[in-house]
Structure 1
Amino acid sequence: MLKRFRKKKKFSIYLGSLAVAPRSDFKRYLDEWAAFGHEDLDSALRKQLMEIFELPLASSLDQPKETDLGLDIVIPKFQSGDMWDISLGDLGFPLAWRPKVEVAARIYRLDTGKTLHTASVTAKLSWRQYFSKLFTWRTFLRFKPMFDSSDLNVLLQRACLGLLEKLRKVA
């Protein structure tokens, strides 16, 4: 009951770093091949992250105070969705994967560097949305990739909202 009367500290949050981890999975090659040089998904996601988290930079502080917190954001995994038909002679089967973006964050004290909390959220395109996009002219003619950065940006925004909600509950 006495917790209610204690005065809460007001924290200031500064942006530490934003990063998109390089992909090392096999789907990376399939996504690059399907894009036909249309766009670089890594840089598109990093640009969108910078727009979402418009905070003052932690590096701009000379003397951080006890109430100054840093926020590091990273995209450890992402994939653009696609569908391929694999044929081995008379035997054939579809290979399908949905777009997915995972976002992770770390909140830490700027004066000591001590980590206070970490969280991660993954956002995937639903199968219903995936199949509705599958039956379009864009997919049949393949003049553009099935899913591009605008599709991943929607998932990135959804993941960032979920991440902020998790971080808000902790604070």
Structure 2
Amino acid sequence: MKREKPRVFLGTLAVVPRRDMKRHLDQWGMFRNESFDDALRTTLEEIFALPAVSTLAAPTANDLGLDVLIPSFQSGDYWDVSLGDFGIPIFWRPKVTVACRLYYLKTQKTKRTFSVTQKMPWSEFVSRQFTWRALFRFRSTFDAKDMTRLLYIACHSLLNKLRKAA
């Protein structure tokens, strides 16, 4: 007898508000005039285009729910802090973490959880520091397109993990 494949429905999509110290530094750059949380959430909605849990009247024992959230993200930057004759480089790469919970709708019991963190490769990060944009700082070195690309890569890895687990 062939086992029936489970149906998957979308539960919660969320971007956790940032509370780290770097959020203030990021606000001087690309996050200055935009709500990046909303942009990330919109991208999540595009990637995880599943029927909503709320549309399901009577779940079966096989039906699954999927909650997806972004617990942390950051843009990248490079600063050179001078202390007299000494300079200390301070840098952080753009990164985004995506986590999900796959659970049985009928019992709310968690089946699996996954988390993926995607960072900009060092080679790309370093090469971006030698552009006109980075040298003159008229705009942030990293923008929303960079973060969206990292989010897509992270979600692709997450979906591969989900597919293997389901």
Question: What TM bracket, shorter-length normalisation?
Answer: over 0.9
Q: Does structure 1 residue 32 correspond to structure 2 residue 19? A: no
Q: Does structure 1 residue 7 correspond to structure 2 residue 19? A: no
- How far 1:36 sits from its partner (Å)? 6.5
Q: Does structure 1 residue 90 correspond to structure 2 residue 74? A: no
Q: Does structure 1 residue 114 correspond to structure 2 residue 109? A: yes
The answer (yes or no) to whether the contact 2:30–2:144 under 8 Å persists in 1 is: no
Out of 151, 159, 164, the position equivalent to 2:154 is 159
Q: 1:100 — aligned with what?
A: 95
- How far 1:100 sits from its partner (Å)? 0.7
Q: 1:3 — aligned with what?
A: none
TM-score (norm 1): 0.92
Out of 138, 146, 149, the position equivalent to 2:133 is 138
Q: Report the AA paired with residue 124 of structure 2.
A: Q
Provide, for residues 95-117 of structure 1, a one-character-per-residue CA deviation record: whole Å limited to 9, x for no partner.
11101111101001111111100
Query: Following the alignment from structure 2 to structure 1, what is the Cα–Cα distance between the partners of residues 33 and 123?
Result: 26
RMSD over aligned Cα, in angstroms? 1.3
Runs of 4+ more than 3 Å apart: none
Q: Secondary structure at the match of 1:34?
A: coil
Query: Following the alignment from structure 1 to structure 2, what is the Cα–Cα distance between the partners of residues 19 and 166?
Result: 20
Provide, for residues 9-35 of structure 1, a one-character-per-residue CA deviation record: whole Å limited to 9, x for no partner.
221111001011111111111101223
Which runs of 5 or more structure 1 residues have no equivalent in the other structure? 1-5
Q: Secondary structure at the match of 2:46?
A: helix
Q: Report the AA paired with residue 14 of structure 1.
A: F
Q: Report the AA paired with residue 145 of structure 2.
A: S
Q: 2:12 — aligned with what?
A: 17
Query: Following the alignment from structure 1 to structure 2, what is the Cα–Cα distance between the partners of residues 134 and 155?
Result: 18
The answer (yes or no) to whether the contact 1:45–1:149 under 8 Å persists in 2 is: no
TM-score (norm 2): 0.94
Provide, for residues 57-102 of structure 1, a one-character-per-residue CA deviation record: whole Å limited to 9, x for no partner.
1011121122221000011111100011112233221111101111
Q: Report the AA paired with residue 72 of structure 1.
A: D
- Between the aligned residues of both structures, percent identity stands at 54
Q: Secondary structure at the match of 1:35?
A: coil
Which runs of 5 or more structure 2 residues have no equivalent in the other structure? none
Q: 1:65 — aligned with what?
A: 60
Q: How many residues align?
A: 166
